[in-house]
Amino acid sequence: MDDISRAIPAGPLRFLDQLRQDIRARGYAYQTEKTYLHWVRRFILFHNKRHPREMGAEHINSFLSHLGCQRHCSPATQRIALNALVYLYRKFLKVELDALNFEKARIKRRLPVVLTHREVQCILAQLPDKHRLMVSLLYGSGLRQNELLNLRVKDIDFGLSTLTVRSGKGDKDRTTLLPQSVQESLTGQIAFVDKQHTRDIEDGVGDVHLPNALAGKYPGAARELGWQFVFPSTTIGACPRTGILRRHHLHHTALRKQVTQARVRAGITKHVKCHTFRHSFATRLLQQGYDIRTIQKLLGHSDLSTTEIYTHVLGRGAMGVVSPIDS
């Protein structure tokens, strides 16, 4: 349950707990909280555990320059670290910083790894039934791994053939397509969840975790089938915030291991991650002639330039050009 925020002691004394409390009070996502705390901790350790109040812009410059030049991190990583430190000083400590002047990380353009449709089918053939369904949704609906794992029964609309992604990247909701080919398997998975949930209620562990403050607003919702995860964990665990025993969603490492093993058995040498199937979804739709703005909406990209990277990996060679020798 590492995507559920942990409880903070009342009146926290530790500096990082005070920072954590401030981030939560401002309504930031839990992933943002973990990321900011990670970089603030790295910043403090880099300067030999000096308190941030004893440091300033020059210390931020040296840390960020170290990330960009010695650690060779990407511009995106350096920018995230910068955001965390700006939050630390300006919002939490209420300290105005002098102009920052650090060495920028070099831009390294990387094209995503993409699988052909045949390669996806080969991997799917090597997966157990449940994991085959999960990867089919990654590829067939363009979901991110966390969006798939956080999918709940109520988010599936068989009548409209749509999936609703709740609180996706950037805390945004969106709808995407539900492939016809997986609907029978998905119906069977929901029937399994229903039976398992009934047994959990009988065992006194049937309350699922609800996001935000919904548990207080809808007291009975945690036991309803609609709020259950489509791909629940195989084990019962204690909630890190309340200590209540409940069944959470499947852990992300379980799916990753299955994908890696299936890739090896299929004889595919490409570096395949769960996110690779999302890349392959976008590229496949471009190959089929769908409008790039439609694909942008399905993927949930706020910036069209993010979607346009898939035009560089179409199956027609570099930049979509057909070689003269193949004409």
Catalytic residue among 59, 223, 251, 275: 275
Rounded CA separation 123/265 (Å)? 8
Concerning whether 301 is annotated as a catalytic residue, the answer is yes
| CA 211, chain centre distance (Å) | 16
Phi, psi (rounded to 5 degrees) for 199: -65, -40
Which residues neighbour 320 within 8 Å (Cβ) at sequence distance 6 or greater?
311, 314
Catalytic residue among 20, 197, 248, 301: 301
Concerning whether 53 is annotated as a catalytic residue, the answer is no
DSSP string, 267-318: T--S---HHHHHHHHHHHHHHTT--HHHHHHHHT-SSHHHHHGGGGG-BTBG
Catalytic residue among 169, 174, 251, 273: 169
Query: Which pair of structure tokens corresponds to residue 320?
Result: 């979509």
Phi, psi (rounded to 5 degrees) for 260: -60, -45
Which residues neighbour 237 within 8 Å (Cβ) at sequence distance 6 or greater?
1, 245, 246, 247, 248
Catalytic residue among 20, 152, 249, 278: 278
Q: How many separate helices (H) and strands (E) can be counted in the chain?
A: 13, 5
Catalytic residue among 20, 144, 197, 263: 144
What pairing do the DSSP bridges indicate for beta strands 162-165 and 174-177? antiparallel
Please say whether the beta carbons of 100 and 62 come within 8 A: no
Rounded CA separation 323/317 (Å)? 8
| CA 278, chain centre distance (Å) | 12
Alpha helix stretches (DSSP H) within 128-224: 129-141, 145-149, 183-202, 214-217
Phi, psi (rounded to 5 degrees) for 317: 85, -175
| CA 181, chain centre distance (Å) | 25
Concerning whether 169 is annotated as a catalytic residue, the answer is yes
Instruction: Name the residues annotated as catalytic.
Output: 144, 169, 275, 278, 301, 310
